[in-house]
């Protein structure tokens, strides 16, 4: 069985949002059309408490995109985004979610960030996605959404490591930084992933 994971197509990651991915809104019509080609469609949502440790606002004297250490891990400091229950955390209005069977929320622990749909960044807690896909007899996973160089990439790598045949759907994702994504794409391919 083949599954599509739609990563973080949320208001705050779209143009005008607090952590906008350039042209992030342009992938939504593609994702809407893609969904019919899959046996199973799931989605993820960044779902942060207002005092999340990855927010630059929580570190006086720091600025967005600075790097710090947070609980033993390197952490990029982000503008406040996708705060649980806010309009910015909602799925994009244009995203068709009718085929989405389950939603996996991540970044809920203020002490650690969570890029991957499978685990937090320290791999201390699982979201339950791996077990869900295995219970549904999924063997192949395709990943799309936002942003290509962070949450899409780390979700795809963890999918590979969980034993799923994995691909990133390139026309259905956009990076925050194209150069960073080109480097990460090479790593993903070396690990056995595919780019569609």
Contacts of 179 (CB under 8 A, 6+ apart): none
Q: In this structure, are residues 16 and 52 in contact, taking their beta carbons and an 8 Å threshold?
A: no
Annotated catalytic residue 158: no
Q: In this structure, are residues 68 and 75 in contact, taking their beta carbons and an 8 Å threshold?
A: yes
Q: How far apart are CA 123 and CA 183, in angstroms?
A: 23
Annotated catalytic residue 125: no
End-to-end CA distance of the chain: 17
Annotated catalytic residue 36: no
Quote the Cα angle for 41-42-48, to 5°.
Answer: 160
From the list 151, 174, 184, 185, the catalytic residue is 151
Contacts of 164 (CB under 8 A, 6+ apart): 133, 138, 139, 140, 141
From the list 46, 106, 184, 185, the catalytic residue is 106
From the list 8, 25, 80, 120, the catalytic residue is 8
Q: In this structure, are residues 34 and 144 in contact, taking their beta carbons and an 8 Å threshold?
A: yes
Q: How far apart are CA 192 and CA 196, in angstroms?
A: 13
Quote the Cα angle for 18-145-139, to 5°.
Answer: 150
Active site residues: 8, 106, 151
């Amino acid at each position: 069985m083949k599954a599509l994971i739609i990563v973080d197509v949320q208001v705050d990651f779209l143009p005008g949002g607090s952590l906008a991915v350039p042209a992030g809104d342009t992938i939504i019509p593609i994702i809407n059309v893609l969904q019919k080609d899959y046996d199973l469609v799931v989605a993820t949502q960044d779902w942060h408490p207002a005092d999340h440790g990855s927010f630059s606002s929580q570190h006086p004297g720091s600025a967005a995109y600075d790097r710090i250490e947070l609980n033993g891990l390197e952490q990029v400091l982000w503008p406040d985004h996708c705060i649980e229950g806010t309009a910015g955390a909602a799925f994009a209005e244009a995203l068709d979610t009718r085929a989405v069977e389950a939603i996996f929320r991540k970044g809920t622990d203020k002490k650690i960030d969570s890029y991957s749909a499978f685990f937090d960044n320290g791999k201390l807690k699982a979201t339950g996605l791996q077990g869900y896909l295995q219970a549904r007899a999924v063997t192949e996973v395709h990943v799309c959404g936002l942003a290509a160089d962070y949450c899409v990439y780390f979700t795809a790598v963890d999918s590979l490591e969980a034993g799923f045949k994995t691909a990133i759907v390139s026309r259905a994702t956009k990076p925050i930084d194209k150069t960073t994504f080109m480097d990460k794409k090479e790593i993903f391919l070396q690990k056995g992933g595919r780019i569609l």
